[in-house]
Amino acid sequence: MKLYSYFRSSAGWRVRIALALKGLDFDLVPVHLLRDGGEHLKPDYAKTNPQGLVPALEVDDKVFTQSLAIMEYLEETYPEPSLLPGDAARRAEIRAFCQAIACEIHPLNNLRILKYLVRDLGHDEETKLAWYAHWIREGFGPVERLLEREEGPYCFGAQPTLADACLVPQVFNAERFNVDLSDFPKVRAVNAACLDLEAIAATVPSLQPDAE
Ligand SMILES: N[C@@H](CCC(=O)N[C@@H](CS)C(=O)NCC(=O)O)C(=O)O
């Protein structure tokens, strides 16, 4: 398996966590999102992912894109340990949690959105950071409420699931942009529990081969 990713990509990190929890090896193909205008925007990479985004996962002669779809593919292909456990209702809750992060928070704070705010719309750095913090806080509010219903220590109980794979990178990202997360104690506690796991600790951006 080949994972096209960038060490700081949140979506790529989700997939790294799923691979690590399932004990699956992969070869990294680094795609630098900043160098030379962004390697993900080059015609060569468009052959791998026409959307020009990371991650992409190449398995034999197929390439899968979109982190949630990739993680579901891994779950179906390598069912143990399950990252989407429980009955249909429980699995719907886990998927909804994943989407609360991957579809509601992350798209508003992605590199190309932040670049557009500054480069095309002429906003300054301070406005960009205010935008970033606003959407993190708007998004983490409901996420915190969802976690309050659960026992922990992970998002949905005693074992990490796809929900945790989505949460950890988003928290890292928020901290990187100095967003105050003190209103979200559950989010922080679950993140800490995840990072205590050896498998997840090994997936942090600074430990990746392409880290800078
Ligand atoms: N919904 C996609 C999001 C993929 C995505 O936006 N990846 C980011 C890195 S986290 C990217 O490639 N950004 C490049 C850009 O915004 O120009 C997924 O979950 O895979």
Rounded mean pLDDT for each run of 10 residues along the chain, 212 residues in total: 98 98 98 96 96 98 97 98 98 98 96 97 97 97 98 98 98 97 98 98 98 97
Identify the CATH number of the domain defined by range 2-81: 3.40.30.10
Q: Taking the complete model, does pTM exceed 0.75, yes or no?
A: yes
Closest to 154 in 3D by CA, of 195, 119, 120, 122: 195
Name the token pair of 120.
């095309």
Give the residue whose CA is nearest to atom 20 of ligand 1: 66
The pLDDT score that the predictor gives to residue 33 is 97
CB 17 within 8 A of CB 203: yes
115 CA to middle of ligand 1, Å? 13
For ligand 1, pick from 5, 13, 111 the residue to mutate: most ligand atoms within 8 Å of CB.
111
151 CA to middle of ligand 1, Å? 31
Ligand 1 atom closest to the Cα of residue 52 is 12
Identify the CATH number of the domain defined by range 88-199: 1.20.1050.10
The pLDDT score that the predictor gives to residue 165 is 99
CB 50 within 8 A of CB 41: no
Residue 112 near ligand 1, beta carbon < 6 Å = yes
- pLDDT digits 0-9 by tens, 72-83: 999 999 999 999
- pLDDT digits 0-9 by tens, 130-173: 999 999 999 999 999 999 999 999 999 999 999 999 999 999 99
Name the token pair of 177.
């942009």
The pLDDT score that the predictor gives to residue 106 is 97
Residue 111 near ligand 1, beta carbon < 6 Å = yes
Give the residue whose CA is nearest to atom 6 of ligand 1: 53
Ligand 1 atom closest to the Cα of residue 102 is 19
**Cα 116 from Cα 140, distance rounded (Å):** 23
148 CA to middle of ligand 1, Å? 29
* Cis upstream peptide for 153 (omega within 30°): yes
28 CA to middle of ligand 1, Å? 17
Name the token pair of 89.
């209702």
Residue 157, beta-bridge partner list: 154
Task: List the domain boundaries for the chain.
Answer: 2-81, 88-199
**Pairing between strand 62-65 and 56-59?**
antiparallel
3-state secondary structure of 91: helix
CB 85 within 8 A of CB 161: yes
